[in-house]
Amino acid sequence: MKFTHKAYLKPLAHATKYPTGSVNGVFLADSSSNVVDAVPLFHFWSALTPMLEVAMTQVELYCKANGLRIIGYYEANERLEDEALSLVSQKIASQIHHTNPEAFAVVIKNRNINSDSVAFLPYQFKEGQWRVSKDAFSEKNAAFSLENSSSPTVAAKALQGGVSSKIADFDNHLEDIKADWLANKAFA
C-alpha cells in the first residue's frame, strides 16, 4: 500500500486535534490500491455502533461517487504509549476485511506524530488475527510505503503550524451539519 501525503497527514491531524482521547477513521484507495485519502470518523463516540453504521454508509456513498473504496481503518489511542489495536478496532477492521481482503488497520504511534519518523504502525489480517506488519515503511517491506518519503517531516511542520484545527470528523458533523468531514477540502 502506497500512502499519499494527504492520506498520511489527515489521520495525524485528527489525532492531534483531540490529544486526550482516542480517534478513528478509514482509509480510501483508488482502483490501483493506492491509499489516496482518509476520512476521520470519531473522537467522541468511537464505539457507538448505530453512529458507526451511519458514518460508514455515508463514506461508502462518498466512495461510490468518487471512484474510491474503503481499504483500511485507523485509530490513535488515548494513551501516548499504547500501540495496540483495540478490540473494537479489530472488529471494525475485520468488517472492512470481510468485504476487501486487502484491508489493513493502522495504529498511530503517538510519540512519532511530531517527528521525522513514520507515525503509522500497520496491522494485517494473517492466520486468523490482526498482526503488526514487520518492518513496515522500510525498504525491507514493500507492502507499506509513503508516496513522498518526506511526508513525516512535512506533516510535523504542518501540525506544528496548526493544521489540525481544520480537520472535521463525523462527530463534528453531528454537531454542525456544515462540517466538511468527508472531503476535508482544506487538506486537498
- pTM summary value: 0.95
Backbone angles phi, psi at 146, to 5 degrees: -100, 135
Residue 139 has pLDDT above 80, yes or no: no
Residue appearing with cell numbers 517531516:
153
Confidence of residue 141 (pLDDT cuts 50, 70, 90): low
| pLDDT average, residue stretch 157-184 | 96
Distance, CA of 132 to CA of 130 (rounded, Å): 7
Q: What is the pLDDT of residues 5-61, one digit of tens each?
A: 999 999 999 999 999 999 999 999 999 999 999 999 999 866 668 899 999 999 999
Instruction: Give 142's pLDDT tier (boundaries 50, 70, 90).
Output: confident
Q: How far is Cα 102 from Cα 157, in angstroms, rounded to an integer?
A: 31
d(CA 75, CA 61): 22
Give pLDDT, residue 48.
Answer: 66
Q: Does residue 136 have a pLDDT over 90?
A: no
- Say which residue the cell 512535512 belongs to: 154
Largest CA distance in the chain: 44
SS3 state at 74: strand
State pLDDT tens for residues 79-97: 988 999 999 999 999 999 9
* Cell numbers at 174, concatenated: 453531528
Domains of the chain, each with CATH number or no CATH: 2-187 (3.40.140.10)
Decide which of 70 and 137 is more confident.
70
- In angstroms, the CA 31 to CA 122 distance is 21
Q: What is the mean pLDDT of residues 121-144?
A: 88
In 3D space, the residue among 25, 183, 3 whose CA is nearest the CA of residue 92 turns out to be 25
The DSSP code for 85 is -
Output the pLDDT for position 166: 97
What are 94-116's pLDDT values in tens digits? 999 999 999 999 999 999 999 99
- pLDDT averaged over every residue in the chain: 94
